[in-house]
């Protein structure tokens, strides 16, 4: 399986502002984020580049069509090993059927493995477990959450 011709997986950049927010809004509430806030956020992620790995899939015109992130957490357990957290996977609705989600997850998995993660985890709704199983993931427990919004 491979990306459509001209498509690429790359880090997010400031000029992705509009499309990045549009694609992410498929997933959840993005809220009110200005271009300058977006740049500041990218600077913050870049300043912590061994922790945050924000990636996008861009089409042949370099427009963002999918977003995803792996957050690499430095732990003590397992001999000072690391755990990767896959976050905020979103694929533009017009791009379904091209396996972009699978290809992005595979890319983020390879970043996590290269960074020395002994495991990578993510949380999903029960209806999406089949997709993540195709990406090599297994059901490993329950996600619990407490909300302050």
Place of tokens 């400031």: 14
Cβ count within 10 A of residue 98: 18
Is there a contact between 95 and 66 (Cβ–Cβ < 8 Å)? yes
Candidate residues 29, 61, 94, 97; the one interacting with its own copies per rule CB under 8 A = 29
1 three-state secondary structure = coil
Should residue 64 be labelled a site residue for its own copies when binding is judged by CB under 8 A? no
Tell me the C-alpha distance between 11 and 77, whole Å.
Answer: 29
Closer to its own copies by CB, 61 or 148: give it.
Answer: 148
Closer to its own copies by CB, 7 or 132: give it.
Answer: 132
Task: Please report, as ranges, the residues that interact with its own copies according to CB under 8 A.
Answer: 20-21, 24, 27-33, 37-38, 41, 44-45, 48, 51-52, 71, 73-81, 83, 85, 87-88, 109, 112-113, 117-126, 129, 132-133, 135-149
């Amino acid at each position: 399986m491979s990306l459509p011709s001209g498509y690429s997986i790359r880090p997010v950049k400031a000029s992705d502002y509009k499309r990045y927010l549009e694609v992410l809004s498929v997933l959840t509430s993005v809220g009110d984020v200005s271009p300058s806030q977006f740049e500041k956020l990218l600077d913050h992620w870049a300043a912590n580049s061994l922790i945050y790995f924000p990636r996008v899939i861009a089409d042949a015109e370099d427009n963002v069509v999918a977003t995803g992130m792996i957050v690499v957490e430095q732990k003590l357990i397992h001999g000072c090993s690391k755990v990767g957290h896959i976050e905020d996977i979103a694929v533009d609705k017009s791009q379904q059927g091209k396996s972009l989600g699978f290809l992005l997850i595979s890319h983020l998995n390879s970043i996590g493995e290269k960074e020395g993660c002994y495991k990578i985890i993510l949380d999903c709704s029960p209806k999406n477990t089949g997709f993540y199983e195709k990406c090599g993931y297994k059901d490993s427990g329950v996600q619990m959450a407490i909300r302050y919004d």
